[in-house]
Structure 1
Amino acid sequence: MIRRTLLASAAAGLTLGLAAPAMAQDDPTKACFVYVGPIGDGGWTYQHHEGAMAVKEEFGDKVEIAYQESVPEGADAERVITQMALSGCDIIFTTSFGFMDATNNVAAKFPDIKFEHATGYKRDHPNVSTYDARFYEGRAVLGHIAGKMTKTNKIGYIGSFPIPENIQGINSYYLHAKKANPDVELVVTWAYTWFDPAKEADAARAMIDQGVDVIAAHTDSTAPLGEAAKEGGKVIGFGQASDMAAFKTNDDGTPGPRVASIIDNWAPYYIDRVGAVMDGTWEQQASWGGMPEGEVVIGEITEAVPADVKAEAEELIAKMTSGEYHPFTGPINKQDGSAWLAEGEVADDGTLAGMDFYVEGITGEIPN
């Protein structure tokens, strides 16, 4: 039987052979994870790792978990994914958009291994699936809170890279802030990184210096909330990808800057897909779950949020969870004023998956 191992950190590395040994029927299914950041980032990678641990809790000795953290997007990713394939992984989850080509390249060489790529769209081989979450649903809720709670009428959003996933979030955040507060203005800052606390902190500081008093982020660390905390209650923000509950309260016991959060709950998906490998029912698919599937969750809305605003946010959550409301429901124009969605029209998934434009009211250009 293959020895069960859990790779504790990138420093520990992967214990690999030159070829995957044949597995006996009673050998565990080996589920492997490639992370773009450290599992201690408190955000994106932390939450994916929580999903991996949920797989272990669900299946016990029937599964073996292996992972590598802080894998750069690019050539290093292909090397790591290849090593995982050689080490006997039965299913490999690659958890960042920039792993897309590397995932498909390796999948072509290992047709008997299942590959799952997060947030991408390429499924070049029958053993590759993609999965994503409708983060824009959570952004709608955070945008409503931001629009209601800003005192300066200037709210901020830190983007990682100008890909559709980020642009969806920016547009949803702004649209719902604008509905809540017609005077709101949005400042967008691109960090060009998924995880770099120094850059994220600089981006947050630059916005605060411009008068922004509510900050959302699509980057992976807690640094933006750390900058908000320095403002002594004048700036608020949101947990990103995980709850970031440590920022609910400051060290002196006063309310902290984190007033709500958007939580990526990957556990149900990971359990389902590993289970499908175990029982032989795995098939290629493109999954895009949201609030109805339990993949997008809004963390506790704290008492810093007025009761009426909290009630409105909870109503919005309930309507999206039931399917009664879609965040991109017309009338909505594009940034240049041209019509996009007519009254009552709902954006289709194809347009959202390739979204490359801002909605009307957002200033600035989307970088190439």
Structure 2
Amino acid sequence: MSSNVKIPISSFIVEDWFNGLYTATMLGTLWVIAYSGHFEGLRKKYHMALVVFMYICSTMHSSLQWFFYAGAINANEGTDGTELVQALTHLAPWLEITGDTFFCLNIFIADCLFIWRCWVVWQRRWIIVILPICATIAGAVLAGFVISVQADALESNITYVAVQKEREFTTLITAYFTLSISTSLTTTLLISLRVLLVQRAARSVGMEKYSAYTHVVEILVESAALYSATLLVFVVLNTRMNINFYYAQNIHAQIAGLTPTLIILRVAAGKSRRDEEWSTSAKVESLQFAARSGLSQASSSLQGHNSDPEMGFKAPGPALVRLAGVSEPDSSSSEGNGSDSGLKSIRTLPSVQFAKVK
């Protein structure tokens, strides 16, 4: 947030609407985590605590906005409007610093959760998430510098120092949001790519059980596309000094908590793919297993009618012998030597021997 700028009052109302939507989603997520059975023990408590903490960060931002808005109106409702404009365009330093702290904290938590999700869908390959992890750590360090410089700029009574700190703040905040948008876009693209690859692999072997609508929802939720879109709009408007960036900022403050909550809700409800289903090779292995099962069934149906009374099972017929790539024994040779040998006959298939002992 920047001081000395006219603030669209309706942006607070828009944020409160999104916070109400977030509240309903948060309560539903907690209920699903508690009773669905997909999370157990410490894992359940950990996810519930994470959902509540993200909600607190987003709600603190909207609550501080509402506190500022209501205080300015109540203190200046009997004036001609000049004092009200002054109050709305000059935020208290503590209010702005506290709001921005929770804003940056929520972005950090969201980035960490998206990196974790990207790591999971790519089957725990650290090489995939190395760059997002580095960008997130650097962004967290920059966020600390941003808030510190902002506090110095707001509390300084010397014009030269305030201007210098404002310039430094602008440089740092630009670098911070550049790292943040690079992290979110990278994870979004990587997750989207993985989802598409898995869906294509499943369709290629006829094992896809989801509808086209579910495919779209899976991509949007798993990849956190909504988060990246709102953050990108906010960064663009903020860079261009467009007054509408307040709308994007207040919306993103809620989306930063809402989007990770939707991912947790999807996992807790059992709507997300299991860890082993994120492998594209698993689909091929399943197809090979199905083929082997089909071969086994075909083998049973192709067995000959000649049975061995002494061993109590049917010997494989010619069709199965040919299918296994083993030459069929010469029947005339077998009959000629049958009465003189203790070992009557041996028919060999891969890994299996059929023997008849006198």
TM-score by length of 2: 0.24
Higher relative contact order (CA 8 A, sep 6+): 2
- Structure with greater helix share of residues: 2
Structure showing greater radius of gyration is 2
- Structure with greater strand share of residues: 1
TM-score by length of 1: 0.23
